[in-house]
Amino acid sequence: MAADGEKASAPPEYTNPPDGGHSSVPDQDADIEKTGSAPAPNPDIHAGAVLKHVNKNDADEAYKVLVGHEGETIVITPEEEKKLLRKIDLNLMPLLCIVYGLNYLDKTTVSYASVMGLKTDIKLVGQDYSWIGSMFYFGYLFWEYPTNRLLQRLPLAKYSAFNVIMWGLTLCCMAAVKNFAGAMTVRFFLGVFEAAVSPGFALFTSQWYTISEQGSRTGIWFSFNGVGQIVGGCVAYGIAVGTKHHPVAIKSWQLVFLVIGLFTAAMGAVFLWLMPDSQLNARFLTPKERVMAVERIRVNQQGVGNKHFKWYQCKEALTDPMIWAFVFYSLVADIPNGGISNFFSQLIVSFGYSPEDSLLLGIPGGAVEVVALIACGYLGDKYKNRLLFSTVGMIIAILGMLLITCLPESNSPGRLVGYYLTQASPTPFVALLSLISTNVAGWTKKTTVAAMYLIGYCVGNIIGPQVFRDKDAPQYRPAEITIVVCYAVSLVDLLFIYMWCKRENKKKAVIRAAPGYEKLQGQEFLDLTDRENPEFIYSV
């Protein structure tokens, strides 16, 4: 292993065509607001002083590709980049969207089953159903950090596909449960296998898309949670009504688990066949396009992946205030998510509707989630402010929860509309998930942060079903009040993250402006963290 700073072949320089082609190293300082009277710059600051962990022999995989093209100038015109981006979108986004929609549908199928006879048939009493809802996240929590390490060490697409296939087959096992213990066991392993999907998809997004594209893409694939809810409601209603008029050998709720589980496993096989691990083995790209796909994400200052675990990056993740603000948000905001995602069918029944009607009446909630996520993701990228646009969805969700809580029980339509509005609540969660792709650099740090964020997600979702106590049924008023409070606290946390990123950007601008500061060649692909790289700019 070469010592830090040992010389290695430098990657080629990439230049822009005179007609305004793709810029590989943009003037990022132009995006930073004026700092006013900044502290006096330190004349001793330079690349060697700032970058303490540079080892070009342990650089990003993309760095090695660019070294292989030493001396070659690759020009990416706007037309070529637009064509390349369209090709990437057409080959990647459908897979990410469908699988992520199944991720939501598979873990919430139990909500449909709860009003189709599951609770009676396996003799659930008291808080048993709440614990079945929570148990999924115990499995998720147990395996979250190991699965993030495996996402870094193993081929990204192949490991992700393995988990999709396994969670589909595990969901099928829910059709065979006979009691509370069996349901708890299956739900635990369902959480284990689904633990890879969100951090894995965040890695895919940061690997393939530029900072200005990541928010909208994350919003699109995450919005398929809503599509999953729409499809799930239709499938569950069709099976419930169909088996009522044409009985089959198994119960309707068992058939729901089998149909959705087998389809998921089949999609996992498709994902395994079609999804590339990175630009370097993408069969849908030509050799030249693979290099162009790597070059176009140079602006991210993150590269495409590094398989070596680096303790200093792990330590940085554990001592970064911004990261803990991410984790705190994930925990608090997902207390409502854990409750509503497992109880939404029963909540709609509490408004005065029949169990069968509740399956259909949950569908518009999925549509609200799709619209909110796509709109906030698009506007956040367009106006370069994902955090503030994402708060709109949370404010709408607070309004919806207040309608459920404050309207009289006789006002069923008004309370149902309130439920629909709560489905806009995931917008900040998705914005922060996309900011893990954008604002966290260094692949060990990124995978560690993804694990921390989703551990907070697990803890919140474990707590969530428990606030829906059986003794409070059918209205669950204490749970409704708890949800309003959690939403409000989450808004304050988002404001802190916004102000912290702005503050850090000003500090980095001072370092870059210091006399004698020099940017290392190929610095974008040296697997540096966001805090140690002065060229790294935090997005908001």
Binned at pLDDT 50, 70 and 90, residue 273 comes out as very high
Question: 3-state SS of 311-351?
Answer: HHHHHHHHCCHHHHHHHHHHHHHHHHHHHHHHHHHHHHHHC
**What does the pLDDT read at residue 42?**
40
Q: Average pLDDT, stretch 168-172?
A: 97
**What does the pLDDT read at residue 304?**
56
Higher pLDDT, 311 or 27: 311
Q: How many Cα atoms sit within 13 Å of 76 on the Cβ side?
A: 22
Binned at pLDDT 50, 70 and 90, residue 70 comes out as low
pLDDT of residue 106 exceeding 60, the answer is: yes
Count how many domains the chain has.
1
**What does the pLDDT read at residue 265?**
97
| Tens digits of residue pLDDT in 317-335 | 999 999 999 999 999 999 9
Handedness of CA 29, 30, 32, 36 (dihedral sign): positive
**What does the pLDDT read at residue 313?**
92
Q: How far apart are the first and last CA of the chain?
A: 37
| Tens digits of residue pLDDT in 291-321 | 899 888 877 665 555 667 889 999 999 999 9
**What does the pLDDT read at residue 138?**
93
**What does the pLDDT read at residue 38?**
36
Binned at pLDDT 50, 70 and 90, residue 93 comes out as very high
pLDDT of residue 9 exceeding 50, the answer is: no
Answer whether residue 212 is part of any domain: yes
pLDDT of residue 1 exceeding 70, the answer is: no
| Tens digits of residue pLDDT in 227-253 | 998 998 899 999 988 988 888 889 999
Answer whether residue 524 is part of any domain: no
Q: Average pLDDT, stretch 4-21?
A: 38
CA-wise closest residue to 116 among 263, 260, 224 = 260
**What does the pLDDT read at residue 25?**
36
Answer whether residue 71 is part of any domain: no
Answer whether residue 57 is part of any domain: no
Answer whether residue 518 is part of any domain: no
pLDDT of residue 148 exceeding 90, the answer is: no
Distance separating alpha carbons of residues 151 and 206, to the nearest angstrom: 14
Binned at pLDDT 50, 70 and 90, residue 21 comes out as very low
**What does the pLDDT read at residue 2?**
39
Answer whether residue 211 is part of any domain: yes
**What does the pLDDT read at residue 489?**
96
pLDDT of residue 156 exceeding 90, the answer is: yes
Binned at pLDDT 50, 70 and 90, residue 56 comes out as low
CATH at residue 410: 1.20.1250.20
Answer whether residue 195 is part of any domain: yes
Distance separating alpha carbons of residues 127 and 339, to the nearest angstrom: 13
Mean per-residue pLDDT over the chain, rounded: 84
Distances (CA, A) of 336 to 185, 483, 488: 24, 5, 11
Q: What share of the chain is helix, strand, coil (3-state, %, to 5)?
A: 70, 0, 30
| Tens digits of residue pLDDT in 394-403 | 999 999 999 9
Radius of gyration over every alpha carbon of the chain, rounded to an integer in angstroms: 24
The distance from CA 300 to its chain's CA centroid, rounded to whole angstroms, is 18
| Tens digits of residue pLDDT in 378-393 | 999 889 899 999 999 9
**Of the candidate ranges 57-66, 292-301, 316-325, 455-464, the one whose mean pLDDT is the lowest:** 57-66
**What does the pLDDT read at residue 333?**
95
**Of the candidate ranges 30-34, 253-257, 456-460, the one whose mean pLDDT is the lowest:** 30-34
- Domain that includes residue 433, residue range: 94-505
Q: Average pLDDT, stretch 126-139?
A: 91
**What does the pLDDT read at residue 203?**
87
Higher pLDDT, 27 or 346: 346
Distance separating alpha carbons of residues 411 and 535, to the nearest angstrom: 56
Q: Average pLDDT, stretch 437-456?
A: 88
Answer whether residue 495 is part of any domain: yes
Distance separating alpha carbons of residues 52 and 57, to the nearest angstrom: 15
Q: Average pLDDT, stretch 75-100?
A: 93
Q: Average pLDDT, stretch 256-270?
A: 96
**What does the pLDDT read at residue 294?**
85
pLDDT of residue 12 exceeding 60, the answer is: no
